[in-house]
Amino acid sequence: MSAVPATLNRVTRARRELGSDTALIYGVLALVALISWGLILANGGQINLANTLVRSVALGMVAVGQTLVILGGSLDLSVAYQVSVTAVMASYVMQGDPDRMLLGIGVVIAIGLAIGLANGLIITGLGVNPFIATLGTALVLRGVLNSSFDNFAGAVPAEFQALGYGSIGPVPYSVLLFLAVVVIAWFLLLHTRFGHHLYAIGGSEETARLSGVRSARALIGAHILCSLTCVLTGLFIVSRLRAGAPWVGPDGNYDLESIAAVVLGGTALSGGKGGVLGTVAGVLILALLDNLFNQLAVNTYLKDVLRGVIIVAAVAAYALRNYRSRA
Amino acid sequence: MTSTSTTARFEQELTISWRERVRRGVLGTAPIFFVLLGLLVWIAILNPNFTEPSVFLAFLKRAAPLVILAAGQMFVIVSGEFDLSVGSLVTAVVVAAAGLTEGDPDRTWWVVAALFGLGILVGIVNGIVTTRLHVPSFITTLGMLLILEGAVLYWSGGAPRGSLPDNFRVFGRRGIEDVPFVEQLPYSVIILVVVGIAAVLLLHRTTFGKQLFAAGGNPRAAALSGVDVPLVRTLAFVLSGISAVIAGILVGGFAGISQDAGAGYEFQAISAVVLGGAVLGGGRGSMVAAMAGALALEALFTLLNLLGLPKPLRDAVQGLIIIGAVAYAAYRLRRAR
């Protein structure tokens, strides 16, 4: 009988699991990077690392939020429209006026908090399956957005565009923001009670609840954090585009792509296993492939086919590996 | 002790009054039937023509693809999985039919056969990747969605080519003329009824159906009692693929060729099944209720249209109603426990 408290056990176990899988996923990432850069250089192209990173920021932040909810055994299919709502409302409120920048940011954060809280409450309080709940919120957001705006609305001031285009030395602000989001999420997951509870709930909601975890509270928290990452992505996108339109979120396909990135990063779709570092690798793999396809001038539509095959193949590889190690 | 209480309960069952029986029967019915009835009555009040057989049949004709898709999706959901690829399969069927027939009626039959082959193939791949490679069906069918969508666009170069011959379009468009009372009996309604009856019998009256429920309810217990879980789940995906092909043929006939003929159908079909009271995760649900869920969703679209709501707001109302219905079902389930 060891005297190690159950929580510590769970944490060490989570760390160990994270360690092995994350190493594998970063190995895959390195392989993808080498192959794709090799192919690009062989074809006389150029490697632009900063560009690849900036292109990963938008999907990356949403994917980090998505990781939190998926780890807790939930899911958010409304992220794309949350990104749109943020982009549209930010430029609509700011109206190109630098003095209204803070007001705009405050408004979209408030909206994000409200949407996250609503998603969390519908799932935990009303007992609606997360798939249906967030699909429903997505429809509601889409409806409200499309009936209120039918084009680019307002504009953000030039100062705000620094977020999208500015940099400290060679490092773009947006990449720093993304790193900050990753570090915060990583810290929350591995070094706070909230994070440990989330892993426990994702592993088994019932067991977690019976062991005294306030599962509803942690899940609502995860949904609110996920919505806040959508707000950050929305702000980043609107700073690049200068104005938001209802279609910026769904056009970026953030709902399904973020889930794909999370799963590609080794997090189990059923929850309880994985982490944000894997997700970062997943996002980078998707961005590197995108970059490669562009450099090789692969047909846009064929790109979708290849991406579909790669996502399924990667998940099959992880699944088989886990299945074997369990058997 | 247990046996006496069971006997006592059994005797009590025998002696309950017919009133109690009716009450229990009504309460036991899925609420979706009342919702559907309410929606249909509301539509009829706003538009009295709706009660005319021909107008009602036109409604059924419009609803047929979604109801058939919901029936296919129901097999997959009962077995404990998802199929997100059906919408893109509907699009693939419409675009491939136009591209392969190029309007030539002589080609219709082999093209239809090829399309069914495609649907079965998609189902087999979805099933094998999910059950043998242990990829969650959400990801498998999401990958299939990307693949089908990309393949269709790649093949057609971004704009669908060809056209659909008349003998292909008859299924979604025409019907048996000069039928008493109804003027025209649309082929799509006949197909809907045949598919519906077949689906109900298959899920609720065969060993295969029972095995599906078992696989969805508790895969381990099912496997230990001799159910080949991977096989029955793969067959469920195949049935879903076939239903998408039938729906695609009807949509092609009804609405013609379009790049996004099937867009959104996957989520509508899943919503319909869930509105019908099936539980995501498997093991519970009724085929008739799932199809009623699809009809209710279609009736809701018709009603919101009649009420003059703009398209975007219709989305919002649809979202609220789906959440509300599932929340109510969850509440009932909690109370029943």
Q: What is the pLDDT of residues A64-86, one digit of tens each?
A: 999 999 999 999 999 999 999 99
More confident: B182 or B131: B131
What pLDDT digit, counting tens, does each position of B103-115 carry? Answer: 788 888 899 999 9
Distance between CA atoms of B165 and B171, rounded to whole angstroms? 11
Cβ atoms of residues A74 and A219 within 8 Å: yes
When mean pLDDT is compared across A292-301, A304-313, B10-19, B205-214, the lowest value belongs to: B10-19
C-alpha torsion angle, residues B189, B190, B191, B197 (rounded to 10) = 100
Question: Band of the pLDDT at A1, cuts 50, 70, 90?
Answer: very low
Higher-confidence position of A97 and A4 = A97
Q: How far apart are CA B335 and CA B327, in angstroms?
A: 12
What would the mean pLDDT of A7-30 be, rounded to a whole number? Answer: 67
Tokens representing B88 are 């893109």
pLDDT (0 to 100) of residue B210: 92
Question: What pLDDT does residue A14 have?
Answer: 55
Q: Which residues contact A44 (CB under 8 A, 6 or more apart)?
A: none
Name the band, by pLDDT with cuts 50, 70 and 90, for residue A28: confident
- Rounded to an integer, the average pLDDT of A300-323 is 83
- Whether residues B331 and A308 touch (CB distance < 8 A) is answered with no
Residue of B135, B312, B318 lying closest to A312 (CB–CB):
B135
Nearest chain B residue to A141, by CA? B316
Instruction: Tell whether B158 is within 8 A of chain A (Cβ).
Output: yes
The β-bridge partners of A244 are A153
Quote the pLDDT of residue B235.
96
- Give the pLDDT score at A39: 85
User: Could you say which residues from 198 to 217 on chain B have a Cβ atom under 8 Å away from some Cβ of chain A?
Assistant: none
pLDDT at A2: 39
- The pLDDT of residue A164 is 83
Radius of gyration of chain B (CA): 21
What chain B residue is nearest to A304 in terms of C-alpha separation? B150
CA distances to B88, B330, B331 from B334, rounded to whole Å, are: 36, 6, 5
CATH number of the structural domain spanning residue B309: 1.10.3470
**Per-residue confidence band for B7, with pLDDT thresholds at 50, 70 and 90:** low
Best probe of the B interface among A301, A303, A306, by most B CBs < 10 A, is A301
Q: Hey, is the C-beta of B314 within 8 angstroms of any chain A C-beta?
A: yes
User: By the CB < 8 Å criterion, does B136 face chain A?
Assistant: yes
**Among A104-118, A158-172, B33-47, B185-199, where is mean pLDDT lowest?**
A158-172
Residue of B nearest to A149 (CA): B312
Report helix, strand or coil for A3: coil
What's the average model confidence in pLDDT over B56-74? 93
Residue B172, in any domain of the structure? yes
The predicted pLDDT at position A47 comes to 76
Q: What is the mean pLDDT of residues A237-266?
A: 89
Nearest Cα of chain B lies from the Cα of A243 at a distance, in angstroms, of 21
The predicted-structure confidence for B117-164, as pLDDT tens digits, reads as follows: 999 999 999 999 999 998 889 889 989 998 998 898 888 877 777 788
B4, part of any domain? no
Q: Report the gap between the CA of B277 and the closest CA in chain A (Å).
A: 12
Nearest CA in chain B to A136: B319
Percentage of chain B beyond pLDDT 70 is 91
Task: Report yes or no on B35 lying in a domain.
Answer: no
pLDDT per residue as tens digits for the range A263-291:
888 888 888 888 999 999 999 999 888 88
The CA distance from A25 to A12, in Å, is: 20
Q: Chain B residues with CB inside 8 Å of A270's CB? A: 136
Any domain includes B23: no
Is residue B41 in some structural domain?
no
In this prediction, residue B25 carries a pLDDT of 56
List the single residue in B134, B151, B313 with the smallest CB-CB distance to A305. Answer: B151
A319 with B135: Cβ contact below 8 A: yes
* DSSP, residue by residue, A9-35: HHHHHHHHHHHHHHHHHHHHHHHHHHH
Contact call for A147 and B320, based on CB within 8 A: no
pLDDT of amino acid B79: 93
| Minimum distance, in Å, between the CA of residue A37 and any CA atom of chain B | 25
Q: Percent of chain B beyond pLDDT 90? A: 44
Please name the residue of chain A whose CA is at the shortest distance from the CA of residue B125.
Answer: A312
Contact between chains at A142 and B323 (C-beta distance less than 8 A): no
The partner residues of A153 in beta bridges, in order of sequence, read A244
Residue B128 at interface with chain A, using a CB cutoff of 8 Å: no
Q: What is the pLDDT of residue B102?
A: 82
- For residue A10, pLDDT over 90 is answered with no
Cβ <8 Å between A270 and B136: yes
Mean pLDDT of chain B: 86
Inter-chain touch B316–A131, beta carbons under 8 Å: no
A132 in contact with B, Cβ within 8 Å: yes
B230 touching chain A per CB within 8 A? no
Q: How many inter-chain contacts (A to B, CB under 8 Å) are there?
A: 146
Q: Determine which of A43-57, A87-101, B118-132 has the lowest per-residue pLDDT on average.
A: A43-57
Higher pLDDT, B285 or B27: B285
A251 CB within 8 Å of a chain B CB: no
Q: Do A128 and B327 touch (CB under 8 A)?
A: yes
Report CB contact under 8 Å: B319, A126.
no
- Residue B204 within a domain: yes
Please give the residue of chain B at the shortest CA–CA distance from A259: B139
pLDDT over 60 (residue A17): no
**Mean pLDDT, residues A28-44:** 86
* Residues in chain B closer than 8 A to A263 (CB atoms): 136, 139
Q: Which residues of A touch B330 (CB under 8 A)?
A: 126-128
Q: What is the pLDDT of residue B203?
A: 92
> What's the mean pLDDT in A208-215?
86
Which pLDDT value is given to residue A145? 92
- B220 and chain A in contact, CB less than 8 A: no
Q: Which of B280, B313, B322 sits opposite A147 (nearest CB)?
A: B313
In a domain, B142, yes or no: yes
B320–A140 CB contact, under 8 Å: yes
Q: What is the CA radius of gyration of chain A?
A: 20
- In chain B, the number of structural domains is 1
- Whether residue A311 and residue B334 make contact (CB cut-off 8 A), yes or no, is no
- Partner residue opposite A126 with nearest CB, options B316, B318, B330: B330
In a domain, B330, yes or no: yes
For B294-337, how does the pLDDT look when each residue is reduced to its tens digit (9 = 90+)? 999 999 989 988 888 888 888 888 888 888 888 887 887 778 76
Angstroms from B5 CA to nearest CA on chain A? 31
- Contact flag B334-A323 (C-beta cutoff 8 Å): no
Mean pLDDT for chain A overall: 86
The structural domains of chain A, with segments of one domain joined by +, span: 6-36+46-326
Is the CB of residue A263 less than 8 Å away from at least one CB of chain B? yes
pLDDT of residue A3: 42
CB contact under 8 A, A135 and B154: no
Specify whether the CB–CB gap between B110 and B50 falls below 8 A: no
Q: Where are the alpha helices (H) located in chain B, listed in sequence order?
A: 2-15, 18-28, 32-46, 53-78, 86-101, 108-131, 137-156, 166-173, 187-204, 207-217, 219-224, 229-255, 265-275, 287-306, 311-336
Please write the tens of the pLDDT for every residue from B234-288.
999 999 999 999 999 999 888 878 888 888 898 889 989 988 877 777 788 889 9
Contact between chains at A140 and B140 (C-beta distance less than 8 A): no
Nearest-CA distance from B63 to chain A in Å? Answer: 20
Min mean pLDDT across A12-26, B47-61, B227-241 is at: A12-26
Give the per-residue pLDDT at B173: 79
CB contact under 8 A, A147 and B319: no
Q: Is the pLDDT of residue A216 over 60?
A: yes
pLDDT value at residue B291: 94
Residue by residue, DSSP assigns A279-307 as: HHHHHHHHHHHHHHHHHTT--HHHHHHHH
CB spacing of A132 vs B274 below 8 angstroms: yes
- Quick check: A110 contacting B, CB < 8 Å? no
- Architecture of A6-36+46-326 per CATH? Orthogonal Bundle (1.10)
**Residue A5 confidence (pLDDT):** 46
Residues in chain A with CB shorter than 8 Å from the CB of B220 are none
Burial, A59: exposed, middle or buried (Cβ in 10 Å; 0-12, 13-18, 19+)?
buried
- E strand or H helix that includes residue A317: helix A300-326
Judge whether residue A96 has pLDDT over 90.
no
**Domain span at residue B282?**
52-336
